[in-house]
Every structure is written in structure tokens, then in C-alpha cells.
Amino acid sequence: MTPDRSLGVVGIVDAVTRQLRAGILTGEIPADAPLTEAKVSESFGVARPSAKAAIEQLVASGLLVRTAHRSARVVAIEPVMVHDVYRTRTRLESAALRELAATRTVPAAAADANSQLLRMPAGPSTETVDPDLRFHTALIDGIGSERTSRMYRSVLDEVRLCMAQVQGRRLLDAALIAAQHGEILDAVAAGDGDRAAALLAAHLRSAEDRLVEALGE
């Protein structure tokens, strides 16, 4: 898809960045695939400087990596990356849960996302990914910090990247995910931040272990 020329340079760069990001996060652009300025320029019909700017945005977000004298490439995930991503999530989300529990605030968006999970058919499905991640994002957004939300979303890009690249990922049943989420929200509503954080840590550790196991295969 060629970006709309009426967008202006900044708009074109953002449009190309969004489309490249989507291709990376869905696995359409595979791990270790090179993305050169010439290739991006030709594929999207944009000037080389715009292609370069889009690539640099994705390097900054951690979806691409650029080494000396080499083109930017899609990050290939490894166990150490998965561990770091999930531990970072745990730190950020645990802090958010404690803040929410202090005022017994249950974000409506988190409850809505979990309701969607509850309505899903039994059994593991890739359809659980979006409402699952929306639930966790809503916890972060619930504390009302623009910078924390922005930081968290950069981590979620890497979570989606993990899921896209691990084809044999172990997905949990929607009902089980919803039940675990529900326990977390109940702890927040009861003002028990420590319990909410402990439940979250166990919940994320399970997802982390499944991704690492799939990588080993």
C-alpha cells in the first residue's frame, strides 16, 4: 500500500512505519529479514529519506536492529529477550496494580476486555491475543500516566513480536485467561495490591515459560 501523498513528509513516514510495524508483528516480515532504505523506498513509493526515517523509528522501538556496516533487520527473538520483556512487563504492571489497588480503582477498559475473553469459545485460540493484551494495557492506562503508557506500549510491540515469531506458541484457554484476570481485578477492588501483583507475576510467568519452551523446539 502506498502512503497518501497528501499527508506530508511526517505523515508519510508515520504511515510507512505503521505498515512496516504491522508486517513485522504479524510475521509477514520474518525474523532476520533485512529492510534496506532502497527496498522500503521502492515498496512504498516514497523517497529514500522517508524510508530511512521509518526504519530508524522501528530501530528505536526495538523491532529492528542495525549493526555496523549492515542493513537494519527484524529482531530475531531469543530466550534472554523473552525473559527480559516479561520481567519488564511484570515490573511495570505490578507498580500500576498497587497504585490502582490503593484507591480500589478497577479500569473499565480492563473489565471490558476480560468480558470479551469470557464470551469466547472454549479452547486455545489466537483470537485471545488482542483482548488479553488490551486487558494488560488498560491496567497501565488506568493510572493516568502518558509516559508510562507510552513506555509500556513499546514493550508490547516486543511481546507481539515474540508471539509472531514463535509459531508453536502455547496459548492458554480463553476461560483460564479470563479467570486469572478476574482474580487480579478482584484483588484490586479489595485494595490488596500485593495480592494483585503476585497473581499478575504468576500469570505472566506462565506465558513467558510457554514462549521459551516453544523457542527451544
User: For 151-185, what is each residue's pLDDT tens digit?
Assistant: 898 888 888 787 766 544 556 788 889 999 999 99
**The last residue of a domain, from among 40, 74, 108:** 74
Structural domain boundaries, residue 19: 5-74
Scanning 142-173, the segments in alpha helix (DSSP H) are 146-165
- 41, containing H or E segment: helix 37-44
Which of 26-30, 41-45, 95-99, 125-129 is least confident? 125-129
Q: Are residues 44 and 84 in the same domain?
A: no
CA torsion sign, 161 to 165 to 169 to 172? positive
Q: Which of 44, 74, 104 finishes a domain?
A: 74
Neighbouring-strand partners of residue 72: 35
Grid look-up 512487563 returns: 89
pLDDT at 39: 92
Do residues 100 and 184 share a domain?
yes
Task: Name the more confident of 189 and 29.
Answer: 189
Q: What pTM does this model have?
A: 0.76
3-class secondary-structure state, position 178: helix
Question: Cα 13–16–19 angle (5° rounding)?
Answer: 150
Are both 146 and 56 inside the same structural domain?
Answer: no
Q: Are residues 84 and 63 in the same domain?
A: no
Count of domains in the chain? 2
Q: Tell me, rounded to whole angstroms, the distance of Cα 149 from its chain centroid.
A: 12
Phi, psi of 160 (to 5 degrees): -65, -35
Give tens-digit pLDDT for 16-31.
999 998 888 877 888 8
DSSP annotation of 29 reads S
| Residue 95: per-residue pLDDT | 97
- Average pLDDT score over residue span 120-146: 88
- The DSSP code for 77 is P
Q: Are residues 70 and 96 in the same domain?
A: no
> And the C-alpha cell for 158?
516486543
Residue 14 shares a structural domain with residue 107:
no
Strands (E), 70-211: 72-74
